[in-house]
């Protein structure tokens, strides 16, 4: 891009978008106005490429209190308690500056939940990186993990789950998603629809600086270039201490009824918060930039309008409450002051030093951005890759070697190295923290709890984006069901390459179709989410990477089922059917060296039956353990149960006409490994028959070996070392080689 390019193009607006702005205004936009439109009409803020597809997602359900379109979604947990939750990406900033990029991602998602009047209660972080034999990938991985810890630990919100996966496509484009859940009284939810002309807009929190200018348009809505580090000034710096005070101040304001509404300042800064607040209410707004407290002198109006300085919130407050609101903030050491007010009509009028610097319809910014139905095309290479079914390949190693290879692959291996860097217990409600199928967070003062899981499988979506989308919902729901919870609703983050490329757009549409169908079948509507496009550099994109965050309800957390084998002598069962499905599996990638074939099939009715059965088992207390099967299939699933419980097993793997390696490593869906409560096996078997869930006795727990009868046996201690030692070993190489 040359210096002579017109301003709008330098702001990442296209020529037709520039013309459309002129049409909306009836004149050519000035510099500040153009910057505002560039931010608000960016892919990141306007969803202009994804909107037509996202409209097909199911968003309604009896428990949905707040659906998509707000800062975060909310579901009704009963007894007057709402669970507020949302997932977002912070991949581009993290690629440029991993520590601060990830840290500010955490800060942003916490403010989204806070915006609904909820106390942030837990965080989950689904992450994707390139393989750890590359020092740059180790640098990004350790930086992102420490950034998440830096912010989450210091603000006092426990990080209870997530997932970490590795593939070469994520090397240049690490994918960092963050999810937050919070709780609020149902009647205390701030859904952003209150407020009337004359109400004051209070800016709370940090002063506004030059950090993060162009974050949404420059960083998040373009492919990363090789000179990505030059984008560093577009990354913001996080201050978790300031945000901790902001959280407490906002919750106190909400509890005292001093808020009409509140919105966080994230992407596109003041422009976004102010225009969306006004547009949502069908009102206009007067904004005086001279009243915005600044961190540095002589900031231009357009800088103040689009700065993404962190730890700021915009509150809508009745004039008579302004003084009291400022007092609450002062007690928490938070700066607060009016910067404008709502007014009738729909115009957003921005003044600076008594001069009008921008005058635009709020809705034109917030709601009337362009919507694209981008061309889609199924990629030509896909059929050939799908036809190469790994099941047809011979096993190049012994079963035992293959087992260790899969168990010790970076994807399947334990992630203790990651989650021990996160405070997972602060707030004192973590019944079940990281490392399990789903995290379980108690609702204070009740026996209810929320089970939450975040899942996605890029390899599956690469080979079949429809199935990839559907599997991400099914697996997240299965995880939640495994602990005994009822899956309620999802949020999601859809991470893709450049939407202007037809094959990326096709994969996106297919993924959304898969998510929609699975959500309908499993009764889990979508309450919101986030789309992250342009995850590519040098023409190479990430796998289509849908990540689903699932919320489930446990009516009584004391009935939750844990994944580990609890004691010797328990009968082990496989639930579900194993088919010859190695396409896109962990085994195929690390043992056969291929990412090919078709992902496992998915029968959503069988999946739903499995979930209902698991929940019924939990309510009747029939299970001693329960663990869903996914990456690495039955072999890894059994090993994980043994490692988690510290108890070995003897199991006979049913062949069902499959080769032993297929039976061990197939990733067929809708399966779980459970152990029954001693003495209640027949009741359990009868219930499975009643629910139409296939059930096979595998063997017994006990001993210090993992014995796959007739094939091989390995000491539990060795499996543990392989499982937990992989990531530390790869990362300590980083210390040696730099």
Partner 1 sequence: MKPRVGVVTFPGSLDDRDALRAVAVMGGQPVPVWHGDAGIADADAIILPGGFSYGDYLRTGAIARFAPVMTAVREFAEAGGPVLGICNGFQVLCEAGMLPGALIRNRSLSFVCRWVHMRAEGDGGEVLEVPIKHGQGQFVASPDDLAAIEEQGTVAFRYCAPDGSLDERFNPNGSAHGIAGLRNRAGNVLGLMPHPEHAVDPDLGPTGGHHVFQWLLTAAGQRVPA
Pairing between strand 705-708 and 649-651? parallel
The CB-of-93 to partner 1 minimum distance in angstroms stands at: 21
d(CA 130, CA 458): 13
Question: If you write DSSP's letter for every residue of 292-359 in order, what string do you get?
Answer: S-BSSSS--HHHHHH---SSEEEEEE-GGGHHHHHHHHHHTT--EEEEEEEESSSEEEEEETTEEEEE
Q: State which residue, 278 or 485, has the beta carbon closest to partner 1.
A: 485
What is the CB neighbour count within 10 angstroms for residue 172?
A: 22
- List alpha helices for 31-97, DSSP H: 31-40, 43-46, 51-54, 91-96
Nearest Cα to Cα of residue 85 among 492, 428, 449, 475? 492
Contact 205, 154 (CB under 8 A): no
Biggest CA pair distance of the chain: 85
Active-site entry in 44, 92, 611, 661: 44
Q: State which residue, 79 or 420, has the beta carbon closest to partner 1.
A: 420
Q: State which residue, 239 or 536, has the beta carbon closest to partner 1.
A: 239
Q: State which residue, 450 or 634, has the beta carbon closest to partner 1.
A: 450
Distances from the Cα of 664 to the Cαs of 91, 238, 586, 625, 717, in angstroms? 35, 46, 12, 20, 20
Q: State which residue, 428 or 710, has the beta carbon closest to partner 1.
A: 428
Residues 6+ apart with CB under 8 A from 163: 126, 127, 415, 454, 455, 456
Distances from the Cα of 483 to the Cαs of 477, 552, 606, 674, in angstroms? 10, 10, 18, 11
Q: State which residue, 125 or 423, has the beta carbon closest to partner 1.
A: 423
Long-range contacts of 594-597 (CB under 8 A, 24+ apart): 594/388, 594/390, 594/393, 595/385, 595/459, 595/462, 595/463, 596/385, 596/386, 596/388, 596/389, 596/390, 596/463, 597/385, 597/386, 597/388, 597/389, 597/390, 597/391, 597/463
The CB-of-684 to partner 1 minimum distance in angstroms stands at: 25
d(CA 643, CA 440): 20
* Residue whose structure tokens are 């984006």: 465
How many CA atoms, within 13 angstroms, populate the side-chain half-sphere of residue 86? Answer: 29
Question: If you write DSSP's letter for every residue of 680-711 in order, what string do you get?
Answer: -HHHHHHHHHHHT--EEEEEEE-SSEEEETTT
Q: State which residue, 149 or 514, has the beta carbon closest to partner 1.
A: 149
Active-site entry in 90, 611, 661, 711: 90
d(CA 146, CA 565): 32
Question: Which residues, listed in sequence order, are joined to residue 337 by a DSSP beta bridge?
Answer: 203
Distances from the Cα of 345 to the Cαs of 29, 33, 367, in angstroms? 20, 19, 16
Q: State which residue, 123 or 714, has the beta carbon closest to partner 1.
A: 123
In the annotation, is 92 catalytic?
Answer: no
The CB-of-554 to partner 1 minimum distance in angstroms stands at: 12
Q: State which residue, 105 or 433, has the beta carbon closest to partner 1.
A: 433
The CB-of-420 to partner 1 minimum distance in angstroms stands at: 5
In the annotation, is 53 catalytic?
Answer: no
Burial class (CB in 10 A: 0-12, 13-18, 19+), 425: exposed
The CB-of-556 to partner 1 minimum distance in angstroms stands at: 11
d(CA 482, CA 235): 39
Q: State which residue, 291 or 558, has the beta carbon closest to partner 1.
A: 558
The CB-of-480 to partner 1 minimum distance in angstroms stands at: 20
By CB under 8 A, name the binding residues for partner 1: 146, 149, 153-156, 239-242, 244-245, 332-333, 419-428, 430-431, 442, 557-558
The CB-of-454 to partner 1 minimum distance in angstroms stands at: 19
The CB-of-180 to partner 1 minimum distance in angstroms stands at: 16
The CB-of-239 to partner 1 minimum distance in angstroms stands at: 7
The CB-of-160 to partner 1 minimum distance in angstroms stands at: 11
Distances from the Cα of 459 to the Cαs of 158, 361, 538, 547, in angstroms? 29, 44, 20, 12
The CB-of-157 to partner 1 minimum distance in angstroms stands at: 9
Question: Residue 549 in 3-state DSSP?
Answer: strand
Q: State which residue, 106 or 216, has the beta carbon closest to partner 1.
A: 106
The CB-of-446 to partner 1 minimum distance in angstroms stands at: 12
Contact 632, 407 (CB under 8 A): yes
End-to-end CA distance of the chain: 35
Contact 87, 177 (CB under 8 A): yes
Q: State which residue, 332 or 573, has the beta carbon closest to partner 1.
A: 332
Which residues are part of the catalytic machinery?
Answer: 44, 90
């Amino acid at each position: 891009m040359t210096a002579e390019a017109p301003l709008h193009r330098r702001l990442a607006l296209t020529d037709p978008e520039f013309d459309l702005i002129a049409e909306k205004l009836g004149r050519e936009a000035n510099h500040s106005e153009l910057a505002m439109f560039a931010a608000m009409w960016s892919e990141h803020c306007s969803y202009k490429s994804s909107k037509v597809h996202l409209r097909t997602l199911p968003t309604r359900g009896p428990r949905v209190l707040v659906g998509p379109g707000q800062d975060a979604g909310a579901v009704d947990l009963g007894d007057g308690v709402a669970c507020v939750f949302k997932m977002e990406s912070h991949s581009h900033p993290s690629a440029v500056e991993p520590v601060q990029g990830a840290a500010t991602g955490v800060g942003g998602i916490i403010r989204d939940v806070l915006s609904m009047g909820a106390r942030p209660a837990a965080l989950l972080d689904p992450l994707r990186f390139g393989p750890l034999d590359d020092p740059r990938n180790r640098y990004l991985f350790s930086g992102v993990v420490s950034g998440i810890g830096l912010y989450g630990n210091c603000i006092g919100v426990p990080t209870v789950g997530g997932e970490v996966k590795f593939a070469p496509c994520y090397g240049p484009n690490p994918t960092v998603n963050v999810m937050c859940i919070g709780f609020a009284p149902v009647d205390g939810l701030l859904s952003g629809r209150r407020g009337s002309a004359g109400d004051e807009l209070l800016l709370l929190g940090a002063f506004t600086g030059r950090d993060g200018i162009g974050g949404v348009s420059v960083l998040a809505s373009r492919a990363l270039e090789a000179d990505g580090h030059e984008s560093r000034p577009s990354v913001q710096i996080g201050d978790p201490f300031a945000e901790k005070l902001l959280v407490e101040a906002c919750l106190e304001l909400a509890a005292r009824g001093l808020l009409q509404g509140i919105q966080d300042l994230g992407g596109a800064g003041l422009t976004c918060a102010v225009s969306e607040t006004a547009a949502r209410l069908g009102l206009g707004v007067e904004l005086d930039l001279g009243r915005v407290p600044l961190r540095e002198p002589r900031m231009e109006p357009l800088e103040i309008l689009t700065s993404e300085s962190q730890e700021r919130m915009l509150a809508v407050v009745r004039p008579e409450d302004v003084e009291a609101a400022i007092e609450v903030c002062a007690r928490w050491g938070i700066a607060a002051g009016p910067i404008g007010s709502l007014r009738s009509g729909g115009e957003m009028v921005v003044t600076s030093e008594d001069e009008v610097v921008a005058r635009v319809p709020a809705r034109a910014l917030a709601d009337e951005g362009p919507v694209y139905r981008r061309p889609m095309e199924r990629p030509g290479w896909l059929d050939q890759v799908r036809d190469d079914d790994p099941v047809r390949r011979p096993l190049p190693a012994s079963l035992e070697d293959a087992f260790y290879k899969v168990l010790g692959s970076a994807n399947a291996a334990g992630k203790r190295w990651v989650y021990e860097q996160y405070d997972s217990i602060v707030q004192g409600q973590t019944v079940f923290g990281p490392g399990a199928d789903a995290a379980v967070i108690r609702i204070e003062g009740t026996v209810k709890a929320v089970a939450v899981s975040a899942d996605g499988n890029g390899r599956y979506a690469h080979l079949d984006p429809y199935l990839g989308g559907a599997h991400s919902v099914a697996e997240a729901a299965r995880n939640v069901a495994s602990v005994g919870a009822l899956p309620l609703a999802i949020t999601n983050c859809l991470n893709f390459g450049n939407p202007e490329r037809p094959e990326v757009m096709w994969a996106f549409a297919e993924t959304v179709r898969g998510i929609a169908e699975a959500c309908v079948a499993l009764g889990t509507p979508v309450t919101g989410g986030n789309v992250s496009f342009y995850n590519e550099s040098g023409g190479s994109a990430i796998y289509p990477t849908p990540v689903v965050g699932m919320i489930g309800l446990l009516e009584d957390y004391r009935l939750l089922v844990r994944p580990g084998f609890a004691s010797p002598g328990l009968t082990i069962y496989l639930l579900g059917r194993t088919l010859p499905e190695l396409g896109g599996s962990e085994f195929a990638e690390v043992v056969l060296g291929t990412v090919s074939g078709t992902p496992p099939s998915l029968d959503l009715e069988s999946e739903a039956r499995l979930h209902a059965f698991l929940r019924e088992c939990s309510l009747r207390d029939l299970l001693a353990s329960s663990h869903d099967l996914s990456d690495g299939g039955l072999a890894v699933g059994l090993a994980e149960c043994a490692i988690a419980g510290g108890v070995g097993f003897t199991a006979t793997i049913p062949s069902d006409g499959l080769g032993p390696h297929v039976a061990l490593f197939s990733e067929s869906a809708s399966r779980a490994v459970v152990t029954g409560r001693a003495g209640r096996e027949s009741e359990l078997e009868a219930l499975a028959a009643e629910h139409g869930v296939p059930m096979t006795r595998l063997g017994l727990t006990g001993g210090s070996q993992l014995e796959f009868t007739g094939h091989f046996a390995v000491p539990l201690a060795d499996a543990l070392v392989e499982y937990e030692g992989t990531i530390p070993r790869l990362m300590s190489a980083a210390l040696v080689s730099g």
